[in-house]
């Protein structure tokens, strides 16, 4: 009789766990959209201008090399000399470091320097961007726990080539790969480290839903670092790259080994811009 009495209790625990997981995913998705929509989020990225060597004028006047949607007619100039970018505005001149928090403010706009391989550019963020104004949320697959898998971790550090949408290739550190089973078949994904001191593994992947129900260039996913020879891959948290939301992002593309011959019907669906 004791085991019979335990069955309802076990069922109750399972239902509670399932409900808690649904709540976790719903909260993760809300936070994901809030990050996209906030000031400075990807939905505010409204322009990308590649610099040429020398002086690059900017302002609202159409005669500038970089024409802005706000601010004064002639706001100033960016200068690129030998890999160094400076900005001159209001009679003052200062250096701007690529891919940093250094900005030039023009009206409501923020201008940042980015560096991609040997190219230097100016990324424009506009809180009144049409991508932000027109955002209506992201469609997702229903959260299903079968797409949260515990994978075997194989330590196999190497450098891998990661192509971006500009056609540039970056060599990135990959500490190994994850081996997992889905629908009775075995697959593997090789993550990269975004920085030398990264605390998470970053996966760029395509699957058989890509360019159909999900974004054509693939999706992103993070996992924790390996523990006891395992990593947890929760595909319910697979999400669209910034390029799905603005044409002015420079996203990495999935390496060949991360193109999966399986439909992963989990995470975010296609979002057009």
Per the listing, tokens 């000031």 go with 39
pLDDT in the model for residue 272: 61
The two beta strands, 200-205 and 219-224, are antiparallel
Per the listing, tokens 């605390």 go with 199
3-state secondary structure of 260: coil
CA–CA separation, 262 and 207 (whole Å): 6
Portion of the chain with pLDDT greater than 70, in percent:
93
Portion of the chain with pLDDT greater than 90, in percent:
92
pLDDT in the model for residue 4: 56
DSSP state of 256: G
Reply yes or no on whether the pLDDT at 23 is more than 90: yes
* pLDDT tier at 233, thresholds 50, 70, 90: very high
Reply yes or no on whether the pLDDT at 97 is more than 70: yes
Q: What are 4's two structure tokens?
A: 């019979």
pLDDT in the model for residue 273: 44
Q: Are 27 and 34 in contact (CB under 8 A)?
A: no
CA–CA separation, 154 and 191 (whole Å): 11
User: Cα separations (Å) of 119 from 7, 100, 115, 248, 250?
Assistant: 64, 16, 6, 14, 12
**Domains of the chain, each with CATH number or no CATH:** 42-133 (2.60.200.20), 138-273 (no CATH)
CA–CA separation, 201 and 226 (whole Å): 9
Q: Are 59 and 76 in contact (CB under 8 A)?
A: yes
Q: Are 213 and 270 in contact (CB under 8 A)?
A: yes
Instruction: Read off the pLDDT of each residue in 104-115 and give the average, rounded to a whole number.
Output: 97
Average pLDDT, rounded, for the chain = 94
3-state secondary structure of 123: strand
CA–CA separation, 60 and 135 (whole Å): 26
CA–CA separation, 34 and 29 (whole Å): 9
| pTM score | 0.90
Alpha helices in 61-180 (DSSP H): 130-133
pLDDT in the model for residue 18: 78
3-state secondary structure of 272: coil
Instruction: Read off the pLDDT of each residue in 105-122 and give the average, rounded to a whole number.
Output: 97
**Backbone phi and psi for residue 250, each to the nearest 5 degrees, phi listed first:** -125, 70
pLDDT in the model for residue 16: 63
């Amino acid at each position: 009789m004791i085991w019979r009495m335990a069955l309802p209790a076990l069922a109750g625990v399972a239902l509670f766990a399932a409900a808690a997981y649904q709540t976790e995913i719903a909260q993760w998705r809300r936070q994901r959209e809030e990050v996209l929509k906030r000031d400075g989020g990807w939905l505010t990225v409204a322009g990308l201008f590649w610099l040429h060597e020398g002086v690059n004028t900017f302002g609202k006047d159409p005669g500038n090399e970089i024409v802005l949607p706000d601010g004064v007619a002639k706001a100033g100039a960016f200068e690129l000399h030998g890999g160094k970018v400076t900005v001159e505005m209001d009679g003052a001149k200062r250096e701007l470091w690529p891919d940093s928090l250094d900005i030039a403010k023009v009206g409501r706009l923020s201008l940042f320097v980015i560096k991609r391989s040997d190219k230097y550019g100016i990324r424009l963020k506009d809180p009144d961007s049409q991508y932000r104004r027109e955002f209506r949320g992201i469609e997702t697959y229903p959260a299903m726990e079968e797409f949260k898998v515990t994978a075997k971790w194989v330590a196999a550090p190497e450098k891998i080539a990661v192509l971006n949408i500009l056609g540039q290739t970056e060599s990135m550190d990959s500490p190994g790969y994850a081996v997992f089973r889905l629908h009775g078949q075995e697959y593997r994904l090789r993550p990269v480290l975004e920085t030398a001191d990264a605390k998470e593994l970053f996966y760029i992947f395509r699957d058989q839903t890509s360019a159909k129900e999900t974004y054509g260039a693939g999706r992103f996913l993070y996992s924790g670092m390996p523990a006891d020879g395992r990593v947890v891959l929760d595909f319910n948290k697979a999400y669209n790259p910034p390029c799905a939301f603005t044409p002015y992002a420079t996203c990495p593309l999935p390496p060949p080994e991360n193109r999966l011959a399986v439909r992963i019907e989990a995470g975010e669906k296609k979002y057009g811009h």
